[in-house]
Amino acid sequence: MDFVAQHPVLVVSLVKVVILLFLLLTTLAYLTWFERKVVAHIQSRWGPYYVGAHGLLQPLADGVKFLFKEDVTPPGADKFVYVLAPFLALSLALTTLALIPFGPPNVQVLGQSTLIVANVDIGLMFVFAITAMGVYGVALAGWSSNSKYPLLGGLRSSAQMISYEVSLTLSVVGVVLIAGTLNFNEMIAGQSGYYRHVLPRWNIFPQFIGFLCYFVSAIAETNRVPFDLPEAETELVAGFHTEYSSFKFAMFFMAEYANMITVACLATILFLGGWLSPFPESWTFLQYLPAVGLLALALYLAYDTIVLARGIARIQLTVITLGALVIGLACLHPVVMAVIQGPFWFLLKVGFIMFVYVWMRGTLPRFRYDQLMAFGWKFLLPVSLANLVATAFVKILPLLVNHG
């Protein structure tokens, strides 16, 4: 205990990293379940249903499958780079999530704020730096497979990523101009308050065009539909990860979902007000919302268990119902209720953006590659620049008027 008292930063950071990693990897796995279910329902079918109750053990089955598949290395592949590429992709994708604030900085243990792993003063720049390095994973994977389709897919994918990175960073500069800082916590603090007591002062309202540019660039950056030509099955077999099997393929898969989560978290922090609630602080009855939501979920699951399910699904559903009940009741405790407000709203907003991502996957056709690149350079980049210039102009207008 003396060690803990003398090194609070180290101990708290280690615990935060372990918890975050555990939660993150579980979320990645269940994000695949979420996507498959939502796309299935959009396509009038059910999605994973048999593996666990409502298909909830499907990610586990997929993980076991990936671990036990034969690990094939293509002949003539450069072994060092072949193994390095998925590691690079996954580790970089997971690193950005250390900079994201999940809640207000005043929730503290031993004097260290617990809801953000690393409160860096230039948080936004570091996130973009790590995203810029993510291109290597894709390019090196395509090259080191020693095969035509991965090479082409890898080059196309990395060219797409670096093209849309430009408009991604430019569309965010408007927000930086409004906030005046690159620190995430201060940016969110600047979004508190209301316009005329009605509209929350989130950055999406002055920067709507910036938000649209950011969102479209983010979808292209993470190689998702409608910009997923480099990994489409009908076009390039499977793009840059054709020659990868078993766990290395799983790492690419996880890296893509981790990139999606990062981009969604950034969108909430920059444009949607982060962990701030959209309702006024004075409506304290809304503090019961997490508890009410979880208890409603437990009620629905109880109905499912008792009325609908049969066999082993009943046992699994009972376990999940009890879990939801316990967490829901825990949210009624005052300390837990105060702590969970920030993360609740943050996760709600991130979940909404992920839903839009998956919704688009189920609905939209994909761009052709030249249409994709033309869109990025000839439309998104000028629009982001115009947004930046307009924001700067509006920001400096009072100074010009006063001096002129």
Nearer to other proteins, 204 or 388 (CB): 388
Nearer to other proteins, 34 or 136 (CB): 136
Query: In angstroms, what is the minimal distance from the CB of 135 to other proteins?
Result: 5
Helix axes 381-403, 208-221, angle to 10 degrees: 150
DSSP state letter for 288: G
Nearer to other proteins, 142 or 273 (CB): 142
Nearer to other proteins, 61 or 132 (CB): 132
Query: In angstroms, what is the minimal distance from the CB of 146 to other proteins?
Result: 11
Query: In angstroms, what is the minimal distance from the CB of 12 to other proteins?
Result: 21
Query: In angstroms, what is the minimal distance from the CB of 32 to other proteins?
Result: 28
| Alpha-carbon gap, residue 102 to 192, rounded angstroms | 16
| Alpha-carbon gap, residue 335 to 344, rounded angstroms | 14
Query: In angstroms, what is the minimal distance from the CB of 248 to other proteins?
Result: 18
Nearer to other proteins, 128 or 227 (CB): 128
| Alpha-carbon gap, residue 249 to 234, rounded angstroms | 18
List all residues 6 or more positions away from 153 whose beta carbon is below 8 Å from its beta carbon: 142, 230, 231, 236, 237, 238, 239, 240, 242
Nearer to other proteins, 352 or 369 (CB): 369
Query: In angstroms, what is the minimal distance from the CB of 368 to other proteins?
Result: 21
| Alpha-carbon gap, residue 315 to 318, rounded angstroms | 5
Query: In angstroms, what is the minimal distance from the CB of 151 to other proteins?
Result: 7
Helix axes 148-179, 246-271, angle to 10 degrees: 20
List all residues 6 or more positions away from 255 whose beta carbon is below 8 Å from its beta carbon: 86, 89, 90, 92, 93, 134, 137
Contact by Cβ (8 Å): 167, 217: yes
Which residue in the block uniquely carries the two structure tokens 């629009």? 383
Tell me the torsion sign for CA atoms 43, 48, 53, 58.
Answer: negative
Write out the residues near other proteins by the rule CB under 8 A.
78, 80-81, 84, 120-122, 125-126, 128-130, 132-133, 135-136, 139-140, 142-144, 151, 155, 158-159, 162, 182
Nearer to other proteins, 31 or 159 (CB): 159
